Amino acid sequence: MKKYLRLGLEILLALLLVAALGLAYWSFSGKKHVVHDLAELNEQLSEANESLEKAMEEAEAAKEKLHEMDALIKRQREFDAIKTAFANGVVLQDIETLYKAQKSLTTERQLGLAGLRLLTKGAEDPETVEAFQKSLEMTDWNSRLATICASQNALAAAGKKVTVLADCNAAKTESAAKGGGHGKKEGGHDGVHWGYQGDEGPEHWGDNFPVCAKGKKQSPLNIVGPFEKSKDALSVAYQDGPLKILNNGHTIQVNVEPGSSLMINKDSYELLQFHFHRPSEEQIDGKNAAMVVHFVHKNKAGKLAVIGVLLNEGKENAAIKTLWDNLPPKEGVEHLPKVKFNPSSLLPSSLTHYAYEGSLTTPPCTEGVNFYILKTAVDVSKIQVTKFPFKMNARPVQNLNGRKISAN
């Protein structure tokens, strides 16, 4: 009987989501001023569709034993009708018009839009790819797994042959166990919760993100000599651009428009975003700085490089004043305060550095990230440190495991 109970629950969940989606769309077409979170529902639809399809397969087998199945099959036909409404493009048009009128989109909405495009126009449509790309760019490192999962689920729902990552299924199971709620406050997406304290703290990251616990080249590090000679010459060309600032639940992150670059020897890296940790994650001779800013870059091959600038307590920092004066009013929404900002205003004059091979310092702790921690720190005032909305968002230093730190 256990099997039927699970089956029943899955179908119930799927039908509830479909009902919610139908209701939201009906309500939206009637009253345009009401902004519905259709993107999220669309994401749920993809998931629901997947579990419904699986459930229906099992239902076929169980049909003879369960009379109720007839009613469920009728419901599936209704579900198919809603899918058709998506496929004819009316929903996509409506949502695109609605979102265009908004000043900024949340990552979830951008992702939902991409999913909707996919269901409507297919995966080959260049604008579908672009929409997914945009949502990936908007996502902070930590939510990328969730974004990838949602994209894969959407592809699967659209009938594409994709293997959904095992990590995605684990995340979904956890989400279902917690009542299916999207825990925005905890900063997670799809139930992948992590933080810096208690049950969600760094010592538990490995439960959901194995690399965090098992990786041998993890960041941050305590930087102590002796050092090898760094072979890397750095030069930056960051540009003025519109300030796009986000509180992603784990840090304050500034997303950067294309055009700001870092040269490492002859290899060009694009600056994607920069964000802050309090205190600094890296230690120099066992000591943390008050804060650190991490500039995250990516080259054409997808390799990541991070420049870390330590912030010591001292004079007020004008660049940080601009950022803190424009902190986002809401978590999870990119804030666009019509202010120009040049990321190089946060850099010291010299780029001499310590260099090592490391990882993302947040889940999923992916390795293969080159770190350059600048030797010259910049000032930040004590008041500015306390104005940073996160009291503690630094991962503890990790084992060196035989790695060599170099310096120039």
CB of 219 to Zn ion, least distance (A): 8
Stretch that binds Zn ion, among 18-26, 47-55, 131-139, 291-299 (CB under 5 A): 291-299
Tell me if residue 250 is catalytic. Answer: yes
Residue 108 neighbours by CB distance under 10 Å? 25
Q: Is 159 helix (H, G, I), strand (E, B) or coil?
A: coil
Give the chain's largest Cα–Cα span.
77
Toward Zn ion, which CB reaches closer, 7 or 304?
304
CB of 361 to Zn ion, least distance (A): 5
CB of 139 to Zn ion, least distance (A): 15
Retrieve residue 293's tokens.
Answer: 């800013």
Tell me the CA distances in angstroms from 150 to 59, 98, 115, 305, 314, one per residue in order: 25, 22, 8, 26, 44
Q: Kindly give the residue spans of alpha helices, DSSP state H, lying in 139-263.
A: 144-157, 166-177, 205-208, 210-214
Contact status: 294 vs Zn ion (CB under 5 A): yes
Residues in 141-180 at the binding interface with Zn ion, rule: CB under 5 A: none
Toward Zn ion, which CB reaches closer, 217 or 294?
294
Stretch that binds Zn ion, among 1-9, 120-128, 286-294, 330-338 (CB under 5 A): 286-294
Contact status: 250 vs Zn ion (CB under 5 A): no
CB of 275 to Zn ion, least distance (A): 6
Task: Give dist(CA 191, CA 222) in Å, integer.
Answer: 32
Residues in 317-346 at the binding interface with Zn ion, rule: CB under 5 A: none
Q: Under 8 Å CB-to-CB from 314, ≥6 apart: which residues? A: 379, 380, 381
Stretch that binds Zn ion, among 3-11, 131-139, 163-171, 288-296 (CB under 5 A): 288-296
Residues in 261-280 at the binding interface with Zn ion, rule: CB under 5 A: none
Q: Under 8 Å CB-to-CB from 226, ≥6 apart: which residues? A: none
CB of 311 to Zn ion, least distance (A): 13
Stretch that binds Zn ion, among 235-243, 293-301, 333-341, 351-359 (CB under 5 A): 293-301
Task: Give dist(CA 5, CA 121) in Å, integer.
Answer: 37
Residue 330 neighbours by CB distance under 10 Å? 11
Residue 275 near residue 293 (C-beta atoms within 8 A)? yes
Number of residues engaging Zn ion in binding (CB under 5 A) = 1
Q: Is 55 helix (H, G, I), strand (E, B) or coil?
A: helix
- Count of CA atoms in the C-beta half-sphere (13 A) of 266: 0
CB of 190 to Zn ion, least distance (A): 22
Toward Zn ion, which CB reaches closer, 188 or 308?
308
Contact status: 109 vs Zn ion (CB under 5 A): no
Q: Give the residue at shortest CB distance from Zn ion.
A: 294
Toward Zn ion, which CB reaches closer, 28 or 141?
141
CB of 42 to Zn ion, least distance (A): 31
Q: Kindly give the residue spans of alpha helices, DSSP state H, lying in 88-183.
A: 90-100, 107-121, 126-138, 144-157, 166-177
Q: Is 315 helix (H, G, I), strand (E, B) or coil?
A: coil
Toward Zn ion, which CB reaches closer, 59 or 369?
369
Angle (CA) 28 33 34, round 5°: 55
Toward Zn ion, which CB reaches closer, 117 or 294?
294
Determine which one of 67, 189, 193, 250 is catalytic.
250
Toward Zn ion, which CB reaches closer, 112 or 195?
195
Stretch that binds Zn ion, among 25-33, 51-59, 294-302, 311-319 (CB under 5 A): 294-302
**Identity of the amino acid at 352:** T
Q: Report the catalytic residues.
A: 250
Binding-site ranges for Zn ion (CB under 5 A): 294
